[in-house]
Amino acid sequence: MSKKIVYAIVLLAAVVAPFVGYPVFLMKLLCFGLFACAFNLLIGYAGLLSFGHAAFFGGAGYVSGYVLTTLGLPFELGILLGVLAAALLGLVMGALAIRRQGIYFAMITLALAQMVYFSALRAPFTHGEDGLQGIPRGRLLGTLDLGSDLTLYYVVLAVSAAGFALIVRTIHSPFGQVLSAIKENEPRAISLGYDVDRYKLLAFVLSAALAGLAGALKAVVLGFETLTDVHWTMSGLVILMTLVGGMGTLAGPILGAFLVVALENKLGDLGNFLAGATHVEWFASLGESVGIVTGLIFVACVLLFRRGIVGELAHAYSRRRA
C-alpha cells in the first residue's frame, strides 16, 4: 500500500520538477542517475568492478552526436545507434576482461577504456579537445519538437524511467538471480552447471548498453560531447556515485548520482549563499573546492559508510525491526 503512495509521490515530483528547477540541470541528473544504475547492475549485482565505464558513456555520446550532427539522422535513430555502439564496445571489452578476476578485471577495463579515450582524442570526427559541438535536438518521431527544454525533459524522464524499470526487471528475473549467485560464490555456481562467463558477459553488455543510453541522452540534452566523458575520472565518478548511494541497492545509485552532480554544479552557488547569509567571505571560494569535497566524501564513504546512504539506512531499518 505505502509503496504505491511512494511511487505516486516520486512521479508527481518528477512531473512537477521542471517548473521549479532548471530543466537542463534536471535532465543532467536523470542521465547520470541512469548511468549510475547501469554501473550498479555490474558491481552491485554481478560483483564486477569495471574501471572503464566512461568508455560506454562517452563513446555512445560521441556516436550519437556524430550521427545527429553530421548525418542528420532523426533523434530516435541517433540514440539507438549510440546504444548499439556502447553495447558492441561492451561485448568486445567484456569478452577480453571476463577471463580475469578482481583487480586484473578492473585493470583490463581501465586499459581498454584508455584506448577508447585515445581513439576519441585522435579521431577527426570528435574534434579532440574542442569537442563535438552543436548537436541538434531535432524532433521525436518526426513530430514532437524537442527544442523546448520542457518537452525534452519529459522525453528524457520517460526514457530513463524505462531504463531504470528494465534494470529492476532484470534484477528480479531468473537471470538476475543467477548473477547474484555468481557474485555470492562463483565456484558453487559453476558446480551447479551455470555457464558463468556467459552470464557475466551478458550483464556486462547490458550495463554497457544502458550506460550508453545515458551518455547519448546527455549529449543531446547539453548539445555537445567532449573528452571529459571518456576520461578515466568519469569512470571514477560513477564509482563514487554508486558507492555513496549504496552498491547493490536499487535506489542508491540514483541518490548518489543526484548528490554528486548537484555537488559539482551547485557547490559554488551554495558557497555564495552561505557567504551572503553568514557574512563569512571564505564560503564564497567553496565553489573552487569541488575536488576536495568529492575526495572527502569518497574517503568517508569507504571508511565509514561502506554500504552507502541507502544501504546504511536499509541496514539500520532492518536491525531495528529484528
Partner 1 sequence: MNITAIALAASAALSLPAQAQVSGDTIKIGMITDLSGVYADVDGNGGAEAVRMAIADMGGAINGKKIEFVVADHQNKPDIAASRAREWFDQQGVDMLIGGTNSGASLAMAKVAREKKKVFIAIGSGTAQLTNEQCSPYTVHYAYDTVALARGTGATMVKQGGKSWYFLTADYAFGQSLEKDTTDVVKANGGSVLGSVRHPLSASDFSSFLLQAQGAKAQVLGLANAGGDFINAVKAANEFGLTKKIKVAGLLVFINDIHTLGLNTTQGLYLTDGWYWDQNDASRAWAKRYFAKMKKQPSMLQAADYSAATNYLNAVKTLGSDDADKVMAQLKKTRINDMFTKNGEIRPDGRMVYDMYLMQVKTPKESKGAWDYYKVVATIPGTQAYTTKAETKCVLWK
Partner 2 sequence: MELFGVPLPALLSQLLLGLVNGSFYAMLSLGLAVIFGLLNVINFAHGALYMMGAFAAFIGVTSFGLNYWAMLVLAPLAVGLFGILVERAMLRRLYRLDHLYGLLLTFGITLLLEGLFRSIYGVSGQTLDVPDMLAGATDLGFMILPNYRAWVVAASLAVCLATWFVIEKTSLGATLRAGTENPKLVEAFGVNVPRMVMLTYGFGVALAGLAGVLAAPVINVTPLMGSNLIIVVFAVVVIGGMGSILGAILTGLGLGVIEGLTRVWYPEASEVVVFVVMVIVLLLRPAGLFGKEK
Chain contacts with partner 2 (rule: CB under 8 A): 49, 96, 99-100, 102-104, 106-108, 110-112, 114-115, 118, 121-122, 232-233, 236, 239-240, 243, 285, 288-299, 301-303, 306
Exactly one of 31, 214, 243, 254 binds partner 1 (CB under 8 A); that residue is 254
Give yes or no for residue 232 binding partner 1 (CB under 8 A): no
- For residue 310, give the nearest of 235, 256, 232 by alpha carbon: 256
As measured in angstroms, the least distance from the Cβ of 46 to partner 1 is 22
Give yes or no for residue 228 binding partner 1 (CB under 8 A): yes
Phi, psi dihedrals of residue 139, rounded to the nearest 5°: -125, 150
Give yes or no for residue 226 binding partner 1 (CB under 8 A): yes
Q: Which residues pair with 144 in a beta bridge?
A: 140
Give yes or no for residue 262 binding partner 1 (CB under 8 A): yes
Give me the residue label for grid cell 548511494.
Answer: 245
Phi, psi dihedrals of residue 132, rounded to the nearest 5°: -90, 110
Give yes or no for residue 236 binding partner 1 (CB under 8 A): no
Three-state DSSP class for residue 299: helix
Q: What whole-number distance in Å separates Cα of residue 227 and Cα of residue 27?
A: 20
Three-state DSSP class for residue 140: strand
How many other C-beta atoms are found inside a 10 Å radius of the C-beta of residue 89? 24
Whichever of 26 and 238 has its CB closer to partner 1, that residue is 26
Three-state DSSP class for residue 226: coil
As measured in angstroms, the least distance from the Cβ of 119 to partner 1 is 15
How many other C-beta atoms are found inside a 10 Å radius of the C-beta of residue 264? 17
Residue 118 interacts with which of partner 2, partner 1, none, CB < 5 to 8 Å by class = partner 2
Give yes or no for residue 13 binding partner 1 (CB under 8 A): yes
Whichever of 39 and 164 has its CB closer to partner 1, that residue is 164
**Spacing of C-alpha 255 from chain mean position:** 11
Using CA atoms, how far residue 67 sits from 48, 124, 136, 295, in Å, is 32, 14, 10, 37
Exactly one of 154, 175, 232, 266 binds partner 1 (CB under 8 A); that residue is 266
Give yes or no for residue 139 binding partner 1 (CB under 8 A): no
Exactly one of 76, 145, 195, 269 binds partner 1 (CB under 8 A); that residue is 269
Q: What whole-number distance in Å separates Cα of residue 83 and Cα of residue 91?
A: 12
Residue 289 interacts with which of partner 2, partner 1, none, CB < 5 to 8 Å by class = partner 2
Residue 178 interacts with which of partner 1, partner 2, none, CB < 5 to 8 Å by class = none
Exactly one of 186, 223, 289, 298 binds partner 1 (CB under 8 A); that residue is 223
Exactly one of 87, 178, 250, 297 binds partner 1 (CB under 8 A); that residue is 250
Q: Under a CB-based contact definition with an 8 Å cutoff, are residues 221 and 45 in contact?
A: no
Whichever of 24 and 96 has its CB closer to partner 2, that residue is 96
Report, in angstroms and rounded to the nearest whole number, the Rg of the chain calculated over CA atoms: 20
